[in-house]
Amino acid sequence: AQSVSQHNHHVILSEAASLELGCNYSYGGTVNLFWYVQYPGQHLQLLLKYFSGDPLVKGIKGFEAEFIKSKFSFNLRKPSVQWSDTAEYFCAVKGQGAQKLVFGQGTRLTINP
């Protein structure tokens, strides 16, 4: 069975700080990996995805994530956060052959101006 673990429940940073949100998954096979973001009052939207190829993927709004297969990790990073990055961030995994997309519990990110 697939599972996803996000280590940080609530992260509070000041503007211009660097960000790294942890995500680990368990699945014994090939996976598709995702970060979704939910800004306050808005719909869930895709931030970035990894299917195959270069393990460093770039998404919207300056976010990137690195897939480290040996560590079963897909951490999200941004070198300099902005107040508008305040949101809930969900890591998700879809194993090849698995029926469902599995979400982590989410990390609430608060950026203080």
Partner 1 sequence: DTEVTQTPKHLVMGMTNKKSLKCEQHMGHRAMYWYKQKAKKPPELMFVYSYEKLSINESVPSRFSPECPNSSLLNLHLHALQPEDSALYLCASSQDSNTGELFFGEGSRLTVL
Q: List residues near partner 1 by CB under 8 A.
A: 32, 34, 36, 42-46, 49, 51, 88, 90, 92-94, 96, 99-101, 103-106, 108
- Minimum CB separation of residue 80 from partner 1 in Å reads 26
- Minimum CB separation of residue 64 from partner 1 in Å reads 18
Q: Using CA atoms, how far apart are residues 36 and 91, in angstroms rounded to an integer?
A: 6
Q: Using CA atoms, how far apart are residues 37 and 35, in angstroms rounded to an integer?
A: 7
- Joined together, the tokens standing for residue 84 give 């508008």
Q: Using CA atoms, how far apart are residues 44 and 78, in angstroms rounded to an integer?
A: 19
- Minimum CB separation of residue 79 from partner 1 in Å reads 25
Which of residues 3 and 79 has its CB atom nearest to partner 1 in the complex? 3
Which of residues 6 and 75 has its CB atom nearest to partner 1 in the complex? 6
Which of residues 77 and 108 has its CB atom nearest to partner 1 in the complex? 108
- Minimum CB separation of residue 106 from partner 1 in Å reads 5
